[in-house]
Structure 1
Amino acid sequence: MGFFDKFKFSRLKEGLSKTRDTFQENLSKLTKGRTEIDEEFLEELENILVSADVGVETTLDIVDRITEKAASATYRSEEELNGMVMSVMQEMLLDTAEEHPADFEAPLPSTPYVILIVGVNGAGKTTSIAKLAHNYHKAGKKVLIAAADTFRAAAVEQLRIWADRAGVPMVSQGQGADPASVVFDAVSSAVSRQADVVLVDTAGRLHNKANLMAELSKIMRVARKKVPEAPHEVLLVLDGTTGQNAVAQAREFSKCVDVTGLVVTKLDGTAKGGIVLSIARELHLPVKYIGVGEKIEDLQIFEREKFVEAIIGRV
C-alpha cells in the first residue's frame, strides 16, 4: 500500500471511528475467551449487527453464512473468530453489484460524461457534487456543474460556493428557472467547451413522485438532444445518519428514475455505518462513493474490503 493509499485508508478509519469503536467494543466482549460458535454467540451477534443498522435481512444473511462456516471449521482464538466475521461481511458485499466505477483518473467511455445527481434535500447532495467535481478536476478532467435545483431557495448560491471551492465552472439561471433549460444550456456548453464531465444537480423533492418523475424525465430528454446517451450515470445521494430511512428513500427514488449507483454521506457522524451493508445487500445497487468527513477531499470511492476492515479491524 503506497503512501497515498495509506492516507486514504487512515481517513476512512477516522471517518468511520464512531461505528468502529462501538462495533469493536461489542464484538470484543462477544468473542472474549470464545473459541466456538453457539446459539448464544449468534444471538448476541445479531444484536450487535442490528444496533449498527446493518438491517434485519442483511443481519440474518450474515448469521446464516457464519453458521454454515462454523459447521465445518474450528476456531482456536478470538482473532480467528473476528477474522471469520470480517470475511463473511466482505463476501456478502462481494456478492452485490459492481464494486465501484472507474477511478477518477481513468479514461471516460465517452465525453461529455453526464452524471445526474438525485436525492432528498439535506442528504448532502450539494457537497457530494462539489466533492465529485473536485476529484474529477484533480484527475485532470474538465468538469462543469449544472445547477438544476432551481426550486429550493439558496440552492444555486450554495452550489456556486462549492463549485468555486472545487475550481470548476457552473451553469445556472437562478431560482425558479426551468431545470431542463439549465441542463440544456449546461450540456450545450460542455459540448462546445469539450468538457469531460457534467454533474447535474436536481431538486430533492419526494412528496409528489409524479412531478419528480416528470421533471427528471424532461431533464433527461433535453440532455439527450445534445448527448444522445445521456445521462450516463444516475447517482442517488443518501444520508448515512438516517439509517433504514435511507433504504426507504432509495426504494422510492428507484421507482422514479433508473438509479445506477449510490453515494452514502455523513458516515463520520454516525455509529451506525453498518447501513452501507444493508443498502448494498437489500437494494442490489452498487455503493459507489462514501462521505467520511466535511472536507472537499473526504469523498472516497467505495472499496468493500477496505470498508469492512476499517469497521472491524483487529479487536
Structure 2
Amino acid sequence: MGLISNIITFVKGTESKKNIAEVEDMLLGSGLSPSLAFSISKALQRSFIGASKRDDILRTVRETLQPLVVPYTLQPLQPDTLHVLFLLGVNGVGKTSTVAKIAYMLAKNKTITKQSMLFCASDTFRTAAVEQLSVHADALDIDIYKGTRGQDPSAVIYASLEHAKKEKKTLVLIDSAGRMNTRKDLMQQLEKNYRIIQKHVKVEELETFVVVDGNSGLNTINQAKDFNTLFPVHAMICAKYDGGGSGGAIPNIYEACSIPCAFLGTGEGYQDLMAFERERFLDEFLS
C-alpha cells in the first residue's frame, strides 16, 4: 500500500488532529526527514480534520513536497570546449557505475560521441576501483586515463585533463575517491581535486554531482551538506532508487541545502539511469 493510501486508511473515520503523531510516523516511514514529516502532517491537519478524501490528502502532500523536488539539467556541451563532470560520494554509493551510466546515456541520446569522452579513474586507493572503471570503459568503448595504485588523486586528475586537452576531448567524467564526509582530512583532499579542475576549465564548464544511496536514509542529508560546504554541488544523483522510501532523500536534501536532482539510478545495467522528472517522481512516491 502506498503512502497516501496508508494515510487515508488511518484517518478515515477518525479525528486526524488527535492522531497527528501517527501520521508523522507514516511520513517518516516513507523516508522523509522529521522536519518534513512535521510540516506535511501540520499541513494535513490544517487542511482537513477527520477528512478522508483521497484527492484532498494527495493535493496537500503534493503541494508541500513539490517545491522540494527540483530537477537539474546538464549544461549544454560545446564541441570545442572541455567540460568536466566531477562525481562525489561516500564509499559504496555507486559512483563508478554511475559514471558509466551517464556516459552511456549521453552517447545513446547523441548528446556527445563516445570518442569525445574520457573517463578519469582518480579513485586510486580503493581496491579494484581503477579496474572496475576500466571494465566499463572497455564495454562502452570510451577512453580512460588511469593512475597507479596509491597515486595522489589530484595528480591523476591533472594529468587526465592535460591528456583530454591534447586529444581534443569534450567531456571528462571523473570518478573521485570515496570519502567519508566525517573525515576532515579526506574531505580536504577532495577540495584539492576541485582546485586542480578549476585550473583547467571555467566555472560554467564544471559540474559537480553528489551521488547518494537512496536506501541510506537520513545519512544522505549530512553527506550532501558536508560535500556542499567544500565547494558548490550542482546536483544530486539518487542511486539505488526503487520508487519507494528510497526517494525520500530527494526532498530531504533539497530542504537541507537546496541541491536539485539530476538522475535516478534504478538498476545495475547501463540503461538503468533516468533523468529526474518532478511530476513522475511525485506520482511514484505518493502512489
TM-score computed with the length of structure 2 as normaliser = 0.85
- Deviations along 1:48-85, one digit per CA (max 9) or x if unpaired, are 111112011111222333344449xx97x733234314
Alignment partner of 1:146 out of 120, 129, 137: 120
- Deviations along 1:253-277, one digit per CA (max 9) or x if unpaired, are 2233332211111122964432322
1:27 aligns with 2:10: no
1:295 aligns with 2:269: yes
Instruction: Give the structure 2 partner of residue 307 of structure 1.
Output: 281
1:115 aligns with 2:88: no
1:125 aligns with 2:95: yes
Change (3 A) 1:166 1:49: farther
Change (3 A) 1:32 1:39: closer
Q: Determine the C-alpha separation between the residues in 2 that align with 1:258 and 1:159.
A: 25
Alignment partner of 2:134 out of 148, 151, 160: 160
Q: Determine the C-alpha separation between the residues in 1 that align with 2:183 and 2:259.
A: 23
The answer to whether the 8 A contact 2:102-2:273 is kept is yes
Amino acid across the alignment from 2:54 = E
The answer to whether the 8 A contact 1:149-1:156 is kept is yes
The answer to whether the 8 A contact 1:240-1:266 is kept is yes
Amino acid across the alignment from 2:35 = E
Q: Which moved more, 1:294-303 or 1:77-86?
A: 77-86
- Deviations along 1:82-109, one digit per CA (max 9) or x if unpaired, are 4314532443326xxx521248xx5459
TM-score computed with the length of structure 1 as normaliser = 0.78
Q: Determine the C-alpha separation between the residues in 1 that align with 2:135 and 2:214.
A: 24
Instruction: Give the structure 1 partner of residue 247 of structure 2.
Output: 273
The answer to whether the 8 A contact 1:263-1:291 is kept is yes
- Deviations along 1:144-189, one digit per CA (max 9) or x if unpaired, are 1100111111110011112233332111022112212221222122
The RMSD of aligned alpha carbons is 2.9
1:251 aligns with 2:225: yes
Q: Determine the C-alpha separation between the residues in 2 that align with 1:84 and 1:271.
A: 19
1:59 aligns with 2:37: yes
Aligned residues: 282
Q: Matched residue of 1:171: which SS?
A: strand
The answer to whether the 8 A contact 1:24-1:311 is kept is no
Instruction: Give the structure 1 partner of residue 28 of structure 2.
Output: 50
1:137 aligns with 2:107: yes
The answer to whether the 8 A contact 1:33-1:78 is kept is no
Q: CA deviation at 1:130?
A: 1.1
Q: Which residues of structure 1 form unaligned runs of 5+? A: 1-20
Q: Determine the C-alpha separation between the residues in 2 that align with 1:235 and 1:109.
A: 22
Q: CA deviation at 1:33?
A: 6.4
Q: Matched residue of 1:267: which SS?
A: coil
Q: Which moved more, 1:182-191 or 1:153-162?
A: 182-191
Q: How does 1:206-221 map to 2 (within 5 A)?
A: 206=180, 208-213=183-188, 215-221=189-195
Amino acid across the alignment from 2:249 = I
Instruction: Give the structure 1 partner of residue 177 of structure 2.
Output: 203
Amino acid across the alignment from 1:114 = V
1:182 aligns with 2:182: no
Instruction: Give the structure 2 partner of residue 222 of structure 1.
Output: 196
Percent identity reads 29
